[in-house]
Structure 1
Amino acid sequence: MASDMTSRELYLRLLTYVRPYWKVFAAALAAMGLSSLAEPVFPAMMKKLLDDGFSTAAGPWDWLLYPLAIMGIFLVRAIFGFVGEYSMSWVSNNVITELRQAMFARMVRLPTRYYSDNLSGRLMSRIAYDVTGVAGAATNALTSLIKDSLAIVGLMAWLLYLNWQLTLITLSVVPFIAVVVRTFSKRLRGVAKGQQESMGKITQVLQETIEGHKVVKIFGGQTYEEARFYKSVREQRRLAMRATMATSAQSPIVQFFAASGVAIIMGVALKQAAGDQTTVGSFVSFITAMLMILPPLRRITDVNAPIQRGLAAAESVFSLIDEAAEEDKGQEDLGRAQGLVEFDNVSFTYPGADRPALAGVSLTIRPGESVALVGPSGSGKTTAANLLPRFYAIDGGEIRVDGHALPNIKLNSLRDNIALVSQDVVLFNDTIGANIAYGGKSTATAEEIRAAAKAAHALEFIDALPEGFDTMIGENGVKLSGGQRQRLAIARAILKDAPILILDEATSALDTESERHVQAALDELMRGRSTLVIAHRLSTVERADRIVALAHGHKQEEGSHAELLAHDGLYARLYRMQKAEEAAA
């Protein structure tokens, strides 16, 4: 896992994403190298100018030689610097794009349990925010590290050539600088991790408040949400200040050691100049080179902060990429299933729950048959619906489709044979047509989409819209009514034409008029399909072929509507209670 990797391993893994772009990467390094190696030329020219330029007999135009040479040096530096930085940024942004794609590809294949155990805001923050920290390490930090390191090496080589004794004094401060950088690295890495977690909390509060804005307004939750957000952003501010303290303290400490070395060198150099042990040109060239070393040295020490942030971000990014995807060891391909579904003594317990959600439940749905699950809240109805598409793996017993146990069936093959319409309709911020022809049916023709909408009793409102099937419906279909959203979900299921259908409370949140339209659409959808119906309103399941009553995860009774009423058990009690409530209403 990424959390067990060292900084070196993380960086090397990050660089594997650079491999496809190695030519541009190499060109960027070469350009940066040429730009940086031009640095020592300027102090060398200063030595030549001061030692020879003012004393040599000059021709009428020789005075232009040094100014033009200086302009040429800085022009070359500028061109190579631009090419190097642009190329490195191009590589880095491609790497970030690939990392985001890899994270998203893993996210959509994570098991349902992962989403239950992790905050969605933190997950979004990883893909949107953490990965930009990797960009800091992969672009600016790497660019500075290479460019400034080469500049320092080139200038140090010139200093050694000019006066190796003074240069050794310069090198004596390096161990002190190394200790400072190492000390602050650990602190910066830890703070960066905290900032990532804090950003996840901020994203979570934002997401929940935006999605639940109506509840916030109706129940007067503005002050409460402001307090939650205030706490999150204050935590982010505190961590940001800790990071600033570390980076702000590191830079001046390093510069103090560097300046101390320069001061000592300057003193010794002045003494040598007074004793005629060095020329004016050599002295000025040495001091110029020393002063030119300070900016890249400062940038090199400052680069530690983005590198540590980048490594912490890389750890977060790779931990998501390394998450185990849904287990899919099945080898059997169902093709188009007949629709025989069997629950054989099935048991399942949610993680951390004190009792099973389902305990030894057995039921059979024959091809083309509708079976309704009813019972009080917490009886296990929705759990059964989640187990059939293998959103969760069962703890005991066996679920079979056409005689094949679910773990033996390829996941794609299993889910290709299942359509779902639930109370919580999920629509995407796209056109009506794209929402009906979603996923595997994205290549459906306009005629097929229209036929599905007609069967779902959705044409009447779609054709009334100015742009028809090309109408953008907003986030989760916010521009449509509940009944209209539900009919689009049914149209999507009709277009998929799967032999097995799951209806999870598909009409429970609708008014009477909308329910009439939706129920007519559902009747069309259920025709000829093996249907598992989860219902709270028992009036919607009276026509089911069979009804299974659940309580506390156990099957209590099974039979038709008439048989269960005659039996006078759990179903009959629930039915009478609902009829009394409806009459009172």
Structure 2
Amino acid sequence: MNTSNTSGKQTNVEDQLSKTKLSHFAALLFSAGIPKLTLGIAILLSLISAMAGLVVPLVTGSMIDQFRLASINAAMVLKLVFFFILQAISSGVSYLLLAYVGSRIVSHLRKKLWKKTLALPVPFFDRHRSADLMSRVANDTNEIKLFITDHLIAFCSNLLTVISAVAILFYLDWQMTLIILLALPIGIAFLMPMGDKLYAISVNMQEQLAGLAATLSQVLGEIRLVKSSNSEWREMKNGESDIDGLYRFEMKEARINAVLTPLMTLIMIVLLVVIIGYGGVRVSSGALSTGALVSFILLLFQILFPFSQFAAFFSHLKKVMGATERLRLILEHPPETKTHVQLLPDKQQPMEFRSIRFGYQKEKPILLDVSFTIPHCKVTALVGPSGSGKTTIFSLIERFYEPAEGTISWGDSAIGDFPLDAWRRKIGYVSQESPLMAGTIRDNIIYGREDEVSEEEIIEAARLAYAHDFIHALPGKYETEVGERGIRLSGGQRQRIAIARALLRKPDLLLLDEATASLDSDSEHEVQKALDYLMQDRTTLIIAHRLSTVVRADQIVVLEHGQVTGVGTHEELVHTHPSYKTWAHKQFQFDQFISMG
């Protein structure tokens, strides 16, 4: 059993992430599976488009130098048209293939992220809001897609165009080409300092966007609470605060681009004016032909347009680096602990807690040296004040967390020695507010069953859970939509569907978080009958809040301040445990009051 604190491990994992580099982004792309053949064809077509674009200025210059009406023949015109069409077709097909490559990579990356997200341990979700993780899977990956489709290969093509064009320009007139090259270090000198600023802004923008998504998700998910509490104004302010924060970062990015883009344009215009002026002097002196000057200017445009896109590429690269950093938090976080031992848990064994110590935060322990045994095929009730660790014990049994010290065993083996999926398959859990997934009643009853479930099995589980009659009375019967979190059903109906789901799993170990505590008397009666059947011949552990539940238990474990202070039957503890006796007396008075009401 791992003896390190779970939350502490998480903090270390996040703190130890190194600064994101280009190598991380490249590794991310390759891990998603690049369709190499399609990408190769796209690059080839992109290069053909670039080369065809370079030939056009040379043909045009040649035509100007030989410009006589009689010299313009069909072959020359067809040659020019051919290169125009070749550039257009190769460019269009290349873009389509790049869009396919980008979408394919991101689709695989999203699947990988989704699979990894579902494999992350519960403490990870304690530290990160669900909407933030949704934003990483949806929005951050979309930034990568846009970068691949609109910028990455275009950058490579543009770079080849610039290098080739510069080589041709040297051939046409090396003196004017040197003037052009003087502009390059000037542009780079302005680009580099702004890169780190764009990177920091990009990371903050993504975090702010995720925060806004989290606020919207939480408020809309609990809209009934918001309205019943008259908290619309408060949530409006919270939402506006997040929106304002996002707006501020957007404006910071806009201010940098407002300087960067016009600056690059200014450099290009000044360069163009200088080249035209100096080229005119060269033509008038006879050192350069008119056609060569036209070719030179057209090739200059072939350089200036890609060069202007370099700024956009550089800006988006910083955004992608920020997105990659946020995705690395998911991809590089260790998944739930998987055992290499292939033991399968026996059907019925006692469970034993031995000197368990645990805290969600290392400095704030919840359980302190907890030891007790849960006999098989018996009902054990956990009682104690709020914060004593009852729900934490359930979480440790389900292996959402690992104890900092001690061992939980099933029979002679620690539960950590069993494969996680095999262990959780043994467990049935019914809580006070049994959650339902959006979908039909049938979907929720069979939820968690990996094999085929027959109609007879579904109906039988519903009958045993005392749910079939109310389901059959609904217009859609088992195909009735339950709504988000089961909002279209009553509390008692949700509980009975949850019990039917637990019955269909055929668990060996049953965890009940006082499943009737929040129900009215009629619903409680129906649910209790279903629970009585569910508990037959099963090891059952109940978090108990009512005396009626405790009295029927075979064993009661009293928890106080994270420690076991008593174990026994109701009669034994009433006579030997002062705190339990006081609690039982209060519960007896409360139950009497409820029955009179």
TM range, smaller chain: over 0.9
**SS class of match (1:38):** helix
Task: Tell me the amino acid that sits aligned with residue 389 of structure 2.
Answer: G
Name which of 227, 230, 236 aligns with 1:226. Answer: 236
2:339 aligns to what?
A: 329
2:109 aligns to what?
A: 99
Cα deviation for residue 508 of structure 1 reads 1.6
Task: Tell me the amino acid that sits aligned with residue 460 of structure 2.
Answer: A
Tell me if 1:396 matches 2:405: yes
**SS class of match (1:577):** helix
Cα deviation for residue 28 of structure 1 reads 0.9
- Is the CA contact (8 Å cut-off) linking 1:269 and 1:283 kept in structure 2? yes
1:237 aligns to what?
A: 247
1:493 aligns to what?
A: 502
Cα deviation for residue 97 of structure 1 reads 1.4
- Is the CA contact (8 Å cut-off) linking 2:345 and 2:418 kept in structure 1? no
**Change in 2 beyond 3 A, CA 1:162/1:516:** same
TM-score when normalising by structure 2: 0.93
1:449 aligns to what?
A: 458
Q: Deviations over 1:131-176 (max 9, x none)?
A: 1122222221213212322332333233222112211211111111
1:9 aligns to what?
A: 23
Cα deviation for residue 191 of structure 1 reads 0.3
**Change in 2 beyond 3 A, CA 1:342/1:18:** closer
- Is the CA contact (8 Å cut-off) linking 1:135 and 1:310 kept in structure 2? no
| Aligned equivalents of 1:432, 1:84: Cα separation in 2 | 48
**Change in 2 beyond 3 A, CA 1:447/1:102:** same
**Change in 2 beyond 3 A, CA 1:563/1:429:** same
Tell me if 1:565 matches 2:561: no
**Change in 2 beyond 3 A, CA 1:296/1:18:** farther
2:532 aligns to what?
A: 523
Task: Tell me the amino acid that sits aligned with residue 321 of structure 1.
Answer: L
- Is the CA contact (8 Å cut-off) linking 1:144 and 1:300 kept in structure 2? no
384-393 vs 1-10, which moves further? 1-10
| Aligned equivalents of 1:71, 1:511: Cα separation in 2 | 83
**SS class of match (2:273):** helix
- Is the CA contact (8 Å cut-off) linking 2:208 and 2:246 kept in structure 1? yes
2:3 aligns to what?
A: none
Name which of 249, 256, 259 aligns with 2:259. Answer: 249
**Which runs of no fewer than 5 residues in structure 2 stay unpaired?**
1-12
Q: Deviations over 1:240-276 (max 9, x none)?
A: 1111111221122222223332222222111011112
- Is the CA contact (8 Å cut-off) linking 1:333 and 1:413 kept in structure 2? no
Name which of 181, 185, 189 aligns with 1:175. Answer: 185
Tell me if 1:110 matches 2:144: no
Name which of 431, 434, 443 aligns with 2:443. Answer: 434
- Is the CA contact (8 Å cut-off) linking 2:379 and 2:553 kept in structure 1? yes
Cα deviation for residue 45 of structure 1 reads 1.6
Alignment of 1:207-286 (within 5 A): 207-286=217-296
391-400 vs 556-565, which moves further? 556-565
Tell me if 1:307 matches 2:339: no
Tell me if 1:514 matches 2:518: no
2:6 aligns to what?
A: none
- Is the CA contact (8 Å cut-off) linking 1:330 and 1:411 kept in structure 2? no
**Change in 2 beyond 3 A, CA 1:149/1:208:** same
Task: Tell me the amino acid that sits aligned with residue 289 of structure 1.
Answer: L
Q: Deviations over 1:385-405 (max 9, x none)?
A: 111121111122221102211
Alignment of 1:338-487 (within 5 A): 338-351=348-361, 354=364, 356-487=365-496
| Aligned equivalents of 1:311, 1:488: Cα separation in 2 | 46
Task: Tell me the amino acid that sits aligned with residue 434 of structure 1.
Answer: D
Cα deviation for residue 292 of structure 1 reads 3.4
2:194 aligns to what?
A: 184
Cα deviation for residue 468 of structure 1 reads 2.2
- Is the CA contact (8 Å cut-off) linking 2:438 and 2:482 kept in structure 1? yes
- Is the CA contact (8 Å cut-off) linking 1:434 and 1:442 kept in structure 2? no
Cα deviation for residue 439 of structure 1 reads 2.6
Task: Tell me the amino acid that sits aligned with residue 99 of structure 1.
Answer: L
CA RMSD of aligned residues (A): 2.0
| Aligned equivalents of 1:491, 1:287: Cα separation in 2 | 78
Task: Tell me the amino acid that sits aligned with residue 301 of structure 1.
Answer: A
**Change in 2 beyond 3 A, CA 1:339/1:420:** farther
Tell me if 1:40 matches 2:49: no
| Aligned equivalents of 1:196, 1:538: Cα separation in 2 | 51
Cα deviation for residue 65 of structure 1 reads 4.5
| Aligned equivalents of 1:262, 1:270: Cα separation in 2 | 12
**Which runs of no fewer than 5 residues in structure 1 stay unpaired?**
none
**SS class of match (1:426):** coil
Tell me if 1:83 matches 2:93: yes
Tell me if 1:541 matches 2:550: yes
Tell me if 1:23 matches 2:33: no
**SS class of match (1:173):** helix
TM-score when normalising by structure 1: 0.95
**Change in 2 beyond 3 A, CA 1:330/1:524:** farther
| Aligned equivalents of 2:320, 2:584: Cα separation in 1 | 60
| Aligned equivalents of 1:85, 1:482: Cα separation in 2 | 54
| Aligned equivalents of 2:366, 2:25: Cα separation in 1 | 45
Q: Deviations over 1:187-238 (max 9, x none)?
A: 1111000011101211111121112212211211111111111111100000
1:138 aligns to what?
A: 148
Cα deviation for residue 423 of structure 1 reads 1.8
Q: Deviations over 1:515-569 (max 9, x none)?
A: 1111111111111000111122232332111111211112222222233334463
Cα deviation for residue 306 of structure 1 reads 1.3
**Change in 2 beyond 3 A, CA 1:434/1:396:** same
Q: How many residues align?
A: 580
| Aligned equivalents of 1:209, 1:353: Cα separation in 2 | 32
Q: Deviations over 1:268-296 (max 9, x none)?
A: 11101111212111111211221333222
- Is the CA contact (8 Å cut-off) linking 2:434 and 2:494 kept in structure 1? yes
Cα deviation for residue 299 of structure 1 reads 1.4
Task: Tell me the amino acid that sits aligned with residue 33 of structure 1.
Answer: L
**Change in 2 beyond 3 A, CA 1:238/1:325:** same
**SS class of match (2:481):** coil
254-263 vs 272-281, which moves further? 254-263
| Aligned equivalents of 2:545, 2:130: Cα separation in 1 | 28
| Aligned equivalents of 2:239, 2:36: Cα separation in 1 | 43
| Aligned equivalents of 2:201, 2:489: Cα separation in 1 | 45
